[in-house]
């Protein structure tokens, strides 16, 4: 779950995976089971290997994912037309979602963002610029490529009445200073938003949080 947003992502780590479960970014079928069965088209990508093992990042989760997950008792992931390569059973997912929401509020508070105030907007700020046009592969810092550094940069910023981002700061580091710095620089230079709509129906300044993923697909030879 990305703090301050209704977007969810799944990170599944399995030290037993000897090879990448998904060799490139592609469509996956996610199935949640309880009294009813719900299948959702999502997408996934295997991140570079860490000390914990191979990690599968699953995104494009639909808005109803959290509510459905809270009521489910098992989760499966499968490539189209294939048998599941992930199958996890659990008892009470609602407690996990409640804990995530509490964590979400706590993180936002530590970053100086009022969670309750954000929920009062009639409509949140929306991206006008495509993220792929803001953060381009050609922008990958050379030093980060040399080090084969990948990571997720979590940034918090303000969106002004005219839709410009301001006061960008890194609240969750990727572990690579160049990736962190570049993320805020590109956001401030290229991003444009439709401002939030306040309780009175007028444009309003708002706070925003984004998680930007940087991935080096292969370590280059120099």
Once rounded to an integer, what is the mean pLDDT over residues 137-157?
92
Tens of pLDDT along 21-59? 888 889 999 999 988 899 999 999 887 666 667 889 898
* Residues 97, 41 share a domain: yes
- For residue 77, being part of any structural domain is answered with yes
For residue 88, being part of any structural domain is answered with yes
Cα separation values, 164 from 36, 79, 96, 146, 184, Å: 44, 40, 35, 33, 13
Does residue 105 sit in the same domain as residue 118? no
pLDDT of residue 220: 44
Instruction: Please report whether residue 219 resides in a domain.
Output: no
* pLDDT for residue 9 is more than 50: yes
Distance CA 77, CA 23 (A): 15
Higher-pLDDT residue of 113, 140: 140
Please count the structural domains in the chain.
2
Say yes or no: 93 and 128 in one domain. Answer: no
Instruction: Say whether pLDDT at 88 is over 80.
Output: yes
Q: Is the pLDDT of residue 219 over 60?
A: no
Residue 126 sits in the same domain as residue 196: yes
Does residue 220 fall inside a structural domain?
no
pTM of the model: 0.66
Q: What is the CATH number of the domain that holds 183?
A: 3.30.2420.10
Last residue of a domain, one of 109, 126, 157: 109
Mean pLDDT of the chain: 88
DSSP class of residue 166?
A: E
| Whether residues 17 and 86 fall in one domain | yes
Q: Where are the alpha helices (DSSP H) in the chain?
A: 65-71, 93-110, 115-118, 131-134, 142-146, 177-190
Give the domain range for residue 16: 10-109
Model pLDDT for residues 154-185, shown as the tens digit of each residue: 999 999 999 999 999 999 999 999 999 999 99
**Is residue 216 packed enough to be buried (19+ CB in 10 Å), middle (13-18) or exposed (0-12)?**
middle
* Cβ partners under 8 Å of residue 23, min gap 6: 46
Higher pLDDT, 6 or 144: 144
Q: Are residues 123 and 96 in the same domain?
A: no
| Whole-number Å distance between alpha carbons of 175 and 151 | 7
């Amino acid at each position: 779950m990305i703090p301050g947003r209704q977007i969810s992502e799944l990170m599944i780590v399995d030290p037993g995976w000897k090879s990448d479960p998904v060799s490139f970014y592609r469509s996956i079928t996610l199935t949640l089971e309880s009294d009813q069965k719900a299948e959702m088209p999502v997408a996934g990508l295997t991140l570079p290997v860490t000390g914990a093992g191979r990690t599968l990042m699953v995104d494009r989760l639909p808005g109803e994912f959290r509510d459905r997950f809270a009521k489910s008792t098992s989760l499966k992931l499968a490539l189209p037309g294939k048998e599941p390569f992930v199958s996890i059973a659990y008892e009470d997912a609602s407690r996990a979602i409640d804990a995530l929401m509490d964590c979400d509020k706590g993180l936002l508070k530590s970053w100086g963002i009022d969670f309750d105030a954000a929920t009062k907007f009639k409509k949140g700020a929306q991206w006008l610029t495509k993220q792929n046009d803001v953060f381009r592969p050609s922008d990958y810092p050379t030093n980060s490529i040399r080090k084969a550094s990948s990571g997720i940069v979590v940034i918090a910023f303000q969106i002004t009445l005219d839709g410009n981002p301001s006061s960008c700061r890194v609240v969750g580091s990727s572990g690579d200073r160049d990736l962190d710095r570049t993320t805020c620089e590109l956001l401030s230079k290229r991003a444009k938003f439709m401002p939030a709509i306040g309780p009175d129906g007028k444009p309003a300044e708002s706070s925003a949080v984004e998680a930007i993923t940087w991935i080096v697909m292969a370590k280059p030879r120099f």
